[in-house]
Structure 1
Amino acid sequence: MNSERIHCISLPTPFAVGDVNVYLIESEKLTLVDTGPKTDEAWASLKRQIDALGFQVSDIEQVVLTHHHPDHVGLSDYFTEHSVRFITMAYNLPWLKKDPAFFEHHDAFYLTVYREMGIEKFHKKAMETVRGYLDYSCTIDVDVVVEEGDAIDGLPGWTVVETLGHAQGHLSLLRDTDGVMIGGDHLIKHISSNALIEPPPIGETERPKTLLQYRDSLMKVIDRNVIKVYAGHGKPVEHPKELVHLRLLKQEERADDILKMISQEALTGFEICQKLFPTIFLKELGLTMSETLGHLDLLKRDDRLKVVEKEGVLYFQAKEVAKHECR
């Protein structure tokens, strides 16, 4: 029987997703997985809950960051005064340092995507929104970079699993002895994780196909015989394999819905987005466009879609009506 104890600590966030879960693991090294958003409220809550467990923040020896999103990493700034090790994947480093060169690359990448989707006019506002989210993030140096299959010093029996899709630098931790996974935002019981559009690393130009990545990562839950997932939001997932099958099916059904939309005429990505999300497409443009583009990638991979470029804008049409011209 494993003697380790995993404590779930739920912290408030200023985001629509609600509270975020971080996890304290009592092992050879006292390890915190994720830290929460950079707010005084979240910091006070974290300290209070760690104290209630019989520890102090200064007792934490290392922090594993599942991905770079602000609700998971922001309070890392509060740990820099202690001798704590930060551990994460390489992709996250420029996000966590707020590297200006990376964000120039980031904005240029999104300009291309927004132009191709027919929404270039929203690019500036979208980038301003990203900068606003970064106010809740951190500016830290990472001590240890990990990748698929790595062990982590001080966490015997745990293995790093690359679970890309929701974020390009997303990792989960798997305890092989009992199939327990600490999964960040990889698999959440009450909501489907969005495979968010993100830029590739500096020096690369090809857009990551995030939904295809996410589907591959979901299959790791089945292939690695994961029994329980401690999620970044909400309650633990007790039957993860069943939920994975459901999520994969829902993705395929949404792709079918899109195919019906473009069976009679070619549409831009933005036009498809508006049809999919008629009430929230502008309010949640980053999320809804990621959802739309991901399912278009799925249709294209399955050779059910033709893409036609006209004056820099992409038009999408079902393969069986590909002979029809774009507007």
Structure 2
Amino acid sequence: MIHKISIPTPFAVGDVNAFLVKGDALSLIDAGPKTPEAYEALKHGLKEAGYAFSDIEQVFLTHHHPDHAGWIDAFDNATVLGHPYNDLWLKRDEAFFTYHDKFYLDCLIEEGVPDEYLGWVKKMKRSVALMGDRPLDKILIEGDALPGHPGWTALETLGHAQSHHVFWNEGTRQLIGGDLVLPKIASNPLIEPPLNPKDKRPRSLLQYNESLKRILTLPVEVIYPGHGDEVRNAHSLIEARLGKQRERAMKVLAMMNNGPRTIFELNKALFPAVYEKELGLTLSVTIGHTDYLVDKELIRETRDESGILHYEKA
């Protein structure tokens, strides 16, 4: 049994989905944001299926973003499982938050973002108040079987988040997909600090593309996504989105016809109407395009004496 519960969010993406899964254990996958409205929607959805908060034995997180990782606090009897990156947020790890802010400040500087926008570092932090306030009870890693759910496996699918898992059942060809494949919109591969501070910045779009290509290797019949209705044409949808992403990258490549550009310059050109209002999101998109073009050896990256990165055609 897979029972969808739609939960309102305060975010532009709209409602988020949680999934009640009945096997040898009764589990919930994702738990909405920590708002009163989301709590009532969860309570109603559980009641519709014949259950209460106290009946849930396990909560699995697809990733740490606040629209998915909020009301884990409501399930006192449940074991909470997910990728280790979730814990950095759920534990409110101050050392991580300090590292997090420095990571984004360093990114903004090397992207050529003017000083007047550096205050955006504070806005880069997820809405911690809308996340759960308890750590994971168990860590899930790539290939782990889901306890209490024979046939279900956790697959690490980074890109949209550095904590992202999907849950795959090869026997039924069902995938509970978090934000990996959404029916109406492409997920944003967000720039996030790596789990290990010694590692380089994750190239989120390249990670995301590899995660999508991994789904192309699976005989998926239906994806239960984090937002919107079920996806039953996953392979054709993924192929189309990979193609559109390449088209957009080629437009960015053409922006370098007249010489080198910084990330901020490209960002202003790509998003003239919204870059100031949505600087964090738009920079993630722009960086994704340049990472893609560098990976394809279509452009080269150089760093000037001020530490600012410049991109030009190869």
Q: Which amino acid aligns with 1:43?
A: Y
Q: Determine whether 1:317 maps to 2:304.
A: no
Q: Which position in structure 1 is the counterpart of 2:162? A: 168
> Distance between the aligned counterparts of 1:122 and 1:145, measured in 2?
40
Residues 9 and 309 (structure 1 numbering): CA distance in 2 closer, same or farther, change over 3 Å? same
> Distance between the aligned counterparts of 2:122 and 2:139, measured in 1?
29
| Structure 2: 5+ residue stretches without partners | none
Does the aligned pair in 2 maintain the 1:111–1:123 contact within 8 Å?
Answer: no
> Distance between the aligned counterparts of 2:263 and 2:29, measured in 1?
36
Match of 2:15 among 19, 30, 35: 19
Aligned pairs for 1:106-185 within 5 A? 106-119=100-113, 121=115, 124-131=118-125, 133-185=127-179
Residues 123 and 61 (structure 1 numbering): CA distance in 2 closer, same or farther, change over 3 Å? farther
Residues 138 and 148 (structure 1 numbering): CA distance in 2 closer, same or farther, change over 3 Å? same
Q: Which secondary structure does the structure 1 equivalent of 2:145 belong to?
A: coil
Q: Which amino acid aligns with 1:69?
A: H
Match of 2:54 among 51, 58, 62: 58
Q: Which position in structure 2 is the counterpart of 1:193? A: 187
Q: Which amino acid aligns with 1:11?
A: I
> Distance between the aligned counterparts of 2:147 and 2:116, measured in 1?
45
Does the aligned pair in 1 maintain the 2:105–2:121 contact within 8 Å?
Answer: no
> Distance between the aligned counterparts of 1:18 and 1:150, measured in 2?
31
Tell me how far 1:131 sits from its aligned partner. 4.3
Q: Which position in structure 1 is the counterpart of 2:259? A: 265
Q: Which secondary structure does the structure 1 equivalent of 2:19 belong to?
A: strand
> Distance between the aligned counterparts of 2:166 and 2:125, measured in 1?
26
Q: Which position in structure 2 is the counterpart of 1:279? A: 273
Q: Which position in structure 2 is the counterpart of 1:322? A: none
Q: Which secondary structure does the structure 2 equivalent of 1:297 belong to?
A: helix
Q: Determine whether 1:96 maps to 2:90.
A: yes
| Structure 1: 5+ residue stretches without partners | 320-327
Does the aligned pair in 2 maintain the 1:164–1:217 contact within 8 Å?
Answer: yes
> Distance between the aligned counterparts of 1:137 and 1:126, measured in 2?
21
Tell me how far 1:88 sits from its aligned partner. 0.2
1:64-88 Cα distance to aligned partner (Å, 9 max, x none)? 0000000000111222xx2210000
Does the aligned pair in 1 maintain the 2:61–2:69 contact within 8 Å?
Answer: yes
Does the aligned pair in 2 maintain the 1:165–1:214 contact within 8 Å?
Answer: yes
Match of 1:73 among 69, 72, 84: 69
Q: Which position in structure 2 is the counterpart of 1:211? A: 205
Tell me how far 1:274 sits from its aligned partner. 1.1
Q: Which secondary structure does the structure 2 equivalent of 1:173 belong to?
A: strand
TM-score normalized by structure 1? 0.93
> Distance between the aligned counterparts of 1:36 and 1:65, measured in 2?
10
Q: Which amino acid aligns with 2:156?
A: E
> Distance between the aligned counterparts of 1:122 and 1:243, measured in 2?
40
Q: Percent sequence identity over matched residues? A: 43
Q: Which secondary structure does the structure 2 equivalent of 1:172 belong to?
A: strand
